[in-house]
Each structure stands twice: as C-alpha cells, then as structure tokens.
Amino acid sequence: MDTIRLHTNKLPAIRIWLILGFFSLGCLSGFAQTTPKVTSNVDSTSIKIGEQIQYKIQVETDTTAQVMFPDGQTFAPMEVVEASPVDSIIIEDKLNLIKKYALTKFDSGTYNIPVQTVLINKIPYLLDSLKVKVANVAVDTTKQKMYDIKPLVEVEKNYSGWWKYIFYAFLALTIIGGLLYWFVFREKPLTREEKEALLPPYERAILELKKLDESKFLIQSEYKAYYSQLTNIVRSYLEEDVHITALESTTDELIGKLEMLKDAGNLDLDGETIVQFKKVLETADLVKFARSTPENAVIENDRKLIENIVVKTKEALPEPTEEELLQNEEYLEELARKKQKRKLIITAVASLLVLGITISAFGWYYGFGYVKDTIVGHPTKELAEREWIRSEYGFPPVSIETPKVLKRIKTELPAEAHNLISSNQIFGYGSMMSNFYITASSTTYKKGVEFDGQKAIDATIKSMEQQGAKNIILKDEEISTPTNKKGLKVYGSMQIDTPGNNGSHNAEYVLLNFTEGGGFQQVLIVYNEGDTYAGQIVERIINSIDFKTGS
C-alpha cells in the first residue's frame, strides 16, 4: 500500500512536468518560426576583367516582417551593374525573399566584397565577406604581335546643334529685314496731299482753285485770307512753270518781270491778260493791307480772271526743248538717287541702333566683357565653352576631363633618375608661352626606392624655371577630389619670359599632386594672370580628376 500510495502521490507531479515539457517545446517551436534566417552566396569567385558574377541574398522570415536589402554602391570595390527586383515566395507561414545583384570589376586583382547588412524589423543581420579574384585576359604574344600605342588622330569638330544658331540668326535677320522693308523700302500708299504735290504745276493750280471755291473764307467774311490764298496759287504756279521769283515779288515787280518775258519772246502772253492780272493783284493788296471789302461781283470776277491767267500762261509757254527735257530727266534721276541714298542711311542707322540695343541688352545681362569676348573672340573662353573630353592618361592612370585631348610628350629622364624611376609618362596641351598650358603625368618608382613627394614637386618647379618661369611664388594646401582622393595643391604666381625679346608676362599656376595606385600623379596648369575663363577651366579640371585603381 505504501508503495502504491507513493505512486499515486507522484502521478500529479509527473503530469505537471509533462505539461511543462510540451509547453516548452511549443514555445521553442514558435521561437524557431519567428527567428529570421539570412544567407548569401556568389555563383563564382573567379572571373575575368569585365565579366559579371551573381551575388544572391536569401532571407527566410515571418510574413509580417519588414526587410531592407543593401542599396547603392555598398559592394565597392566591386561595381554594381544591376540590382534585380526582390523575388518573394510564401511557404506555409514563412516568407522566402531572394535579391540578386550583378557585380563586375574592370581592374585585375583580388577583391573583398565587404560585409553586407540586411535589416529585418530594423534589426541588422550581417553577411560574411567574400573574396573574388579578377584575372587579366591572357594574350599569346607568340601569335599576337605587340604594337606601340597609336598616335592621336585629329577629327573634325562636332557641330551638333549648329542648326539652332542658324535658326536664331535667320529669325533675327528676318525680323530686322521685315521692319526695314515695312518702314523704309516699302512703297507706301500716297496720301491725298502727297498725290496732289506730285501733280504738274498747272493741274495742281487748277485743283487748288477748286478747293478754294469750297472753302468757308467768303462765308465767314475772311476776305484777307481768301485773297492771300488766291494770289499765292497763281504766284506759285508762275514760279514753278514760268521760273520767275513770284512769291517774294511785289505787284509792280511781278508785272514788270512778265512784261520783260513777253518783250523777249519767252512768254507769248497778250497785254490785256497782264493788265487784268495787275488789277487783281492791286485789289488783293487793298484787301490785305488796307482792309478793303470788295463786292461779291468783284470777288467772283477776280476768281475767274486768276484761272484765266493760269490757263493763258500755260498756253503761252513755249514747248520744252530736248535739252530741257533731258535736264528734267537728270533732275528726276538725281531725286531718285537722293531718295535711295536716304533709304540706305536710314537702313544703316536702324541697323546700328538695333545692334547697339542688342549689345547693350546682352552686356547688361551677361556683362560687357563677356559680350566683347564673344564678338571679338577670346582663346580661353573658346576652350571653356567647347565640348570637353574625358580620358585616362599614364599608368597608374589619372582620369581627367579637359577641353582638348592631351598629347603624349616625349621626355628623356636624367641619367641619375634611371635608377629610381620605373616609368614616366607625360601628356600635355599648349606651352608655357601660350594662353593656357596643361600637363598630366604619371610616374612609378622601382622597388626599394623610397619615394619623396617634396623632391618630385621641386623637380617640377625646376622644370618650369628651365622653360622660362621666374619669381615663382609657392603656396600649398591639401585638397580632396569629388571621389575623396587626397592630394597636395601647390599654386601661386610667376613671371614667364617671352622668347625673342626681353619682355615677360605675369601668369598663375596650379600643380596638383597625388599618390594613387602605387604611382605618383601630377597635373600642372599654367594660365595668364587675371584670366577669368582660365580660372573656370582650372576649377572644372580639378573637380573632374579621378583614379581607377584596384584595392
């Protein structure tokens, strides 16, 4: 019984432990389901230059988890060519995520893909670093001969977009031409006054007499104005057709001139007509100066007499000779030439005015110095605004963007340098005497040689002095390229002797020094002092410097 009693007392305890055991297994099972699993692998650890490898990250986690994969250039020094979209699969209550990256490298060597981080519910999970070997492409020199680097080939300038400038120029010339045609060269419709002024003297006199009949001078009792205009009509006609000074002559002087022409046989006018004309002029003098008021019958008679005098004078004039007609034709031609000359003067003045306004507007907006350099031309401005070229120079290469391709410069190393330097390559454009001079060089040293950067800089300064530089002022500061490559910038001013005479000009220089990829790279820029365009070029070149080296 005791023994049985003992078992019956232990039975509840065993049940409790069994229940706790099952509960613990359930908790462990639940914990295992919610713990993420992150793995990575590559399809190959050895590739050739330019080939791609597939880097795959696989995450197994709960369906409600938030997962963030690596983004951007976190695989450096390997380069990300493509990142595929996340591929997701749900199996029961688990979420399986797969993210693939295509990686490559264009420099030979052994590279480590750095540790990558995957965030799951903001908790970081680190992946192991992987080593990848990038091999050179083997070249069989027994079958493939080796050749020297081909020289640079001059190509024609790229004129892409030229049609825009032609279009704008054509549009501006069209507008200016249209304005000149409309306001200067166009045969404008003549006004009524202009048409009347072109009529022959006789027809114009008859027309003016008719217009005088339609006036309101007599209705408003303006006799003085009426007679003044009446006599001016006939006087103007006589002055134009008979060629005598009639407008400024007194009555007696005018009648005397007509009688002299009649007696000389140059005007076949009867004496009665001259007498009647004298009476009308005397009446007009009384009205204008003595304020006399003529009767209506006298006014009507004087009006008829004036028209009769004009008609008879026209009939009395001899027919023009051939010489007179020729002189008249020459006179008309001279008038036409004067008119054409006037149009040309107006055109020239208008063109200069438009040009002046245009230049002033551009000068106000861009600055008069810039406009002057655009019109006249400026060598460094043309360099700054042309299409730039990016290229790599030397080995280890320095990548740089310049307005002109740098050409290889052949140099002979001093005898003492042969024991120190393994290779030295220099590329340049221009010369120390030109408006803009730039060189890019890359130097490697033999094994065991202790590199001294200051001595290398001193050697470059000495080379500048040998090319005509003097009074060189040295300043230096540390610089960093946009890709975070550190270097030393030596800069300042100097004077450069001009060959052929004793003169010199002031210049500025910038000497950039880097030690990248096991080599020593220098970029030297020399330009005229105060040249703002050259300053812009220097700044752009400095910001473009980069180095592509293995790590």
The 3 state secondary structure assigned to 360-378 is HHHHHHHCHHHHHHHHHCC
- Considering 322, 337, 355, which residue would you say is the last residue of a domain? 322
CA distances, 316 to each of 29, 116, 242 (Å): 140, 120, 10
Q: How confident is the model at residue 372, as a pLDDT?
A: 66
3-class SS of residue 98 = strand
Is residue 4 over pLDDT 60? Answer: no
Any idea what the CATH number is for the domain that residue 309 is in?
A: 1.20.120
Element housing 289 (H / E): helix 271-290
- Whether 276 is in a domain gets the answer yes
CA distance 400 to 395: 13
CA triple 506-507-509, angle to 5 deg: 155
CA distance 339 to 364: 37
- 74 and 219 in a single domain? The answer is no
Q: How confident is the model at residue 144, as a pLDDT?
A: 57
- pLDDT band (50, 70, 90) for residue 485: confident
- 278 and 211 in a single domain? The answer is yes
Kindly report the length of the chain. Answer: 551
Which is more confidently placed, 325 or 262?
A: 262
Amino acid, single-letter form, for residue 383: L
- Considering 135, 153, 175, which residue would you say is the last residue of a domain? 135
Mean pLDDT, residues 26-32: 41
CA distance 445 to 420: 6
What does residue 506 show for φ and ψ, rounded to 5 degrees?
A: -80, 140
Joined tokens for residue 151: 């020289």
CA distance 280 to 228: 11
Instruction: Report DSSP state, residue 191.
Output: P
Which single residue is written with the structure tokens 């304020």?
Answer: 291
- 225 and 318 in a single domain? The answer is yes
Amino acid, single-letter form, for residue 381: K
How much is the pTM?
A: 0.44
E-strand stretches of 421-473: 421-429, 436-445, 469-470
- 129 and 258 in a single domain? The answer is no
- Whether 63 is in a domain gets the answer yes
Mean pLDDT, residues 424-434: 88
Q: How confident is the model at residue 510, as a pLDDT?
A: 93
Say which range, 6-20, 125-139, 257-271, 360-374, has the weakest mean pLDDT. 6-20
Sorted by sequence, the CB contacts under 8 Å of residue 198 that are 6+ apart come out as 190
Give the range of the structural domain holding residue 524, as residue numbers without chain letter.
379-544
Is residue 500 over pLDDT 60? Answer: yes
| Pairing mode of beta strands 37-42, 87-91 | unpaired
Q: How confident is the model at residue 377, as a pLDDT?
A: 63
- Whether 70 is in a domain gets the answer yes
Any idea what the CATH number is for the domain that residue 69 is in?
A: 2.60.40.10
Mean pLDDT of the chain: 80
- 88 and 222 in a single domain? The answer is no
If one counts every other C-beta atom within 10 angstroms of the C-beta of residue 277, the result is 25
CA triple 343-349-352, angle to 5 deg: 140
| pLDDT > 90 in the chain, percent | 16
- 310 and 395 in a single domain? The answer is no
Which single residue is written with the structure tokens 């166009």?
Answer: 186
CA distance 362 to 179: 21
Any idea what the CATH number is for the domain that residue 439 is in?
A: 3.40.1000
Q: How confident is the model at residue 416, as a pLDDT?
A: 72
> In 3D, which of 472, 499, 398 has the Cα closest to residue 440?
398
- 56 and 121 in a single domain? The answer is yes
Report the first-to-last Cα separation within the chain, whole angstroms. 84
- pLDDT band (50, 70, 90) for residue 26: very low
CA distance 35 to 58: 14
- 297 and 387 in a single domain? The answer is no
- Considering 257, 289, 322, which residue would you say is the last residue of a domain? 322
Q: How confident is the model at residue 526, as a pLDDT?
A: 94
| pLDDT > 70 in the chain, percent | 82
What does residue 352 show for φ and ψ, rounded to 5 degrees?
A: -65, -35
- Whether 48 is in a domain gets the answer yes
- Whether 50 is in a domain gets the answer yes
- Contact between 410 and 390 under an 8 Å Cβ cutoff? The reply is no
Cα radius of gyration (the chain): 52
- 417 and 535 in a single domain? The answer is yes
CA distances, 446 to each of 302, 422, 424 (Å): 124, 5, 11
- 266 and 395 in a single domain? The answer is no
The string of pLDDT tens digits covering residues 191-229 is: 777 777 778 888 889 999 999 999 898 888 899 999 999
- 310 and 386 in a single domain? The answer is no
Joined tokens for residue 385: 């605004």
- 299 and 388 in a single domain? The answer is no
Mean pLDDT, residues 78-82: 86
Burial class (CB in 10 A: 0-12, 13-18, 19+), 114: middle
- Whether 367 is in a domain gets the answer no
Which is more confidently placed, 56 or 185?
A: 56
E-strand stretches of 446-536: 469-470, 475-480, 486-497, 504-514, 520-528
What is the domain count for the chain? 3
Which single residue is written with the structure tokens 């650890």?
Answer: 45
Mean pLDDT, residues 146-160: 60
Mean pLDDT, residues 377-401: 85
Is residue 109 over pLDDT 70? Answer: yes
